Structure 1
């Protein structure tokens, strides 16, 4: 492993540490069904609007060039994944599930990110990789069914969390690809700015109409400044330096960190069943990351540098 890859892994870990607080802080903002606070839609779109304002200032201050014509569509996909999809689905879901529970559901995100990255860069995952992906997904669904109560059904919140995971994987992969030819900070800033015509009016329309406790606003401030903005500076730069497939495995620690943060912040309980499923999901992800992922054709040199061996 060279110096760039090591730096990429450390930046990836910093990004993951910031993201690990996202679920607990979102829960702090939206409240519970018994004591609702902010709406999930406002938290998702409001945090994007706040981060977009900061992004506009940053782009002007750094004299960022306009994205090239071929970069606009990947930017739209990045925005759809990490500005709209993941924040919206998680924010709505977090009112109905505890952060500890949600951490298990999104535990397969590293594998999903690696899979999307492999497909995007025209690589061919092995049968072992697919087996681990299926096993990890099955564990997540089994956990959700176990926690859903009587009857065999997935809670709507679990479905939303799975959709959020898919959106994040797409946004991470396309953002990492863009970070090869743009500054990593500019990638998330442009993704936020182009979404402003939707996020700003919708956030204003769904803003809270009643006074809320300070803790809800502190949670909102964190997801706006750190989860939606600063965390991506480190994360996309880490993916660009170390490669999407390699650095995405740093996300293995995110479920555990989210759980540990949720206990003191929200007073949640970490039981052995939840811990066992989290370990099982992380084990499948870890094994899947070690399975070979080969180029799909002889045109491998055209792959993005982030996916090439260093």
Structure 2
């Protein structure tokens, strides 16, 4: 959903580069020099080692403290770098421009080869903002926010997981299987898609639930409205407990009586768009989704 088309000129930028990728660090250093040459206040925090232990939150604090005063964030890396940054700065709702320097970069606005275009657009204010919804997950006193998906799974167990999805005043949804993916529309093209879920336009306001290898097999992916607060419980045959993973990065074991609470976040992600971002165009470009008419024409 495009939320603004008349944007202010950017004067203060923070660059978040994936410290594990040499290309990202080199690209960040280059952009720092280019922005400074044009009078832009720019910084790039050193994140080396902070995310080697995902359960520690020092890395998030460094990103937040270096970013909260910025007009915009530039993310250099891939989708994983973006997902990490969103958890760190969601409450500040700072516009983010993801630039892909390696890998698929499905959520990235542009590739690094187009950096000159991005630099000029930011300085002139020639860009739009696209809003993406975020979800909250809370388990006891622990909570997190996410852009793509929460996965409830068996962890190291080989036994089947029993999942119950409780909605206030409504019949519970129960099934057994390998687990459950709870995703945003943005996350519909990630783990959920691999598990048999549909592709959903990211502008829609909904929550997608995709069972993983469910039994019985007719338990299909389903959609619930965001205004419903959902409580999920899970247990594994044999008495062990389920595990949850947030955006493929943060994992937490769930104790026997824990409830996993899902709700829509009051914060949104604002993505900077230099050019029009259209879901199915990106699918064709990044995943080589082909037009059946093109295939037919080739055969003829």
Q: Normalized against structure 1, the TM-score is what?
A: 0.23
More strand by proportion, 1 or 2? Answer: 2
Q: Normalized against structure 2, the TM-score is what?
A: 0.24
Q: Which has the larger radius of gyration?
A: 2
More helix by proportion, 1 or 2? Answer: 1
